[in-house]
Amino acid sequence: MKQIVIVLIMGLLSFQAFASGDMILTGVGLYSDLRAKYFYGALYTDINSINPSEILSNDGQTRMEIRVVAEDISKRRFYKLMNEMVAISNSVKNIEYHAHDILNFTSLLDGKLEFGDQVVIDNGTGKTIVSINGVDVMVSEDKYFINVLLSGWIGRLPPTADFKVDLLSGNKSPHYQAYMQTTPLQSRVAVIESWNTPLSEARRKQQLEKEEEQRQIRLAELEKQKLLEKQEKMKNRQLAISEKKAQEQAYQKQLADIERRRKLEHEKRLARIKQENEERKLAAKKQQLAESRYFRQLIIQANKAVIYPKQAYDRGIEGFVKIKVSIDKQGNIKQLETLESSQESLLDKAALISAKRAEPFPAVPDLLELDEGLYDFVIPYRFVAK
């Protein structure tokens, strides 16, 4: 048995540019595994190239589009799909540098995505802006943050080999027509606007400020009305000036007290919301970094245990296999499942054996969540006969 070196071999692909305004469609890929189809991914650039290095180093505009074809994608599933693609294709240094934006992106959903929903990532404004069904849900000041996400699509280890090939095939992609016909429902716009996204806090603050401004206007109108009433009464009731003055002073004092209490309550509420958001973001950031580091540990340990069947190696049989592994808290394997077959039984079996040989894996960190006592992750195996 020989140990495998996991590499990605890119061949030359035929390419026909498809212009969309000033943007060029490089292709459309379908992300799926043996269990389900999840989404179409489309890539647009302002350069006529299918070279991943040129696209990732492009200083111009880049746009990524996701159109959901699954019945639904849960918040947890979206987080795992996006986080694994980012973690496997970016260095630890790059992940830690962009940790805040990665956390915001992987935690975008406040509900689930449904069939037809459209997620767009675009840096044409000089920032990386993410929208869902036309509703802006995240803004990164870093124009090049989009490349962190794009590396997960066209980097060294894409979601699937076919996904990357189709994503760099222009409008010749077999998924192009289906992608163009997949559109969101208008009713989903209101749903997305109601979500608690990275931009929701700013919108809520603007709404509170608007309400405060309107309240001040109402107070001013009330004061004006009271002043007019005071002047009218002074003309008709000169004998009651002293009493009226005392009443007005008491009224003004009451208004001031009410204003001070409302202002104090408003400031406390904003401070409490800010503190809660900071604490939630810090905890989520720690969890995301812990999961990224832990996932890389799992992949490194899995690599060390890989075997290449001699029979397949001698015959030059090559292929790509994705194995889903479910482990318990202590790192013991409870379930293995082939997500993507190489169409070669020798290699599929070798991948399952290799995953089993890596047991036990490092214990699952306390920060990470388990689903029914198990932690799931995916190991990509590429068998290449040198």
Domain CATH number, residue 161 = 3.50.70.10
Query: What's the total number of domains in the chain?
Result: 3
- Residue ranges making up the domain that contains 210: 202-287
d(CA 40, CA 181): 11
Please tell me whether residues 49 and 156 are part of one structural domain: yes
Please indicate, yes or no, whether residues 211 and 185 belong to a single structural domain of this protein: no
What amino acid is encoded at 360 in this protein? P
Residue with tokens 């309550």: 265
Please give the pLDDT value at position 36.
Answer: 85
3-state secondary structure of 180: helix
Distance (Å, whole) CA 343 – CA 349: 11
> Over the stretch 275-284, which tens digit does the pLDDT of each residue have?
888 888 887 8
| pLDDT confidence band for 8 (50 / 70 / 90) | very low
CATH number, residue 355: 3.30.1150.10
Average pLDDT over residues 346-373: 94
- Per-residue pLDDT band for 205 (boundaries 50, 70, 90) equals low
Span 256-278, pLDDT tens digits: 888 888 888 888 888 888 888 88
Average the pLDDT over each of 88-102, 152-166, 228-242 and give the range with the smallest value: 228-242
Residues 181 and 77 in one domain: yes
Same domain, yes or no: 24 and 172:
yes
Same domain, 191 and 258: no
Distance CA 19, CA 220 (A): 56
Same domain, 161 and 212: no
Pairing, β 72-73 against β 62-68: unpaired
Among 287, 313, 336, residue at a domain's last position: 287
User: To which H or E segment does residue 200 belong?
Assistant: helix 200-236
**Pair 225, 361 in one domain:** no
Residue 206 clears pLDDT 70, i.e. is over it: no
Name the pLDDT band for 204 (thresholds 50, 70, 90): low
185 lies in a domain? Answer: yes
- Where among 147, 180, 196 does a domain terminate? 196
pLDDT at res. 3: 33
Question: Is the same domain home to 188 and 56?
Answer: yes
For the chain, what is the mean pLDDT? 87
Whether residue 9 is contained in a domain is answered as no
Residue 7 lies in a domain: no
Domain assignment present for 1? no
Tell me, yes or no, whether 257 and 378 share the same domain: no
Q: Percentage of the chain surpassing pLDDT 70? A: 92
Q: Is 293 part of a structural domain of the chain?
A: no
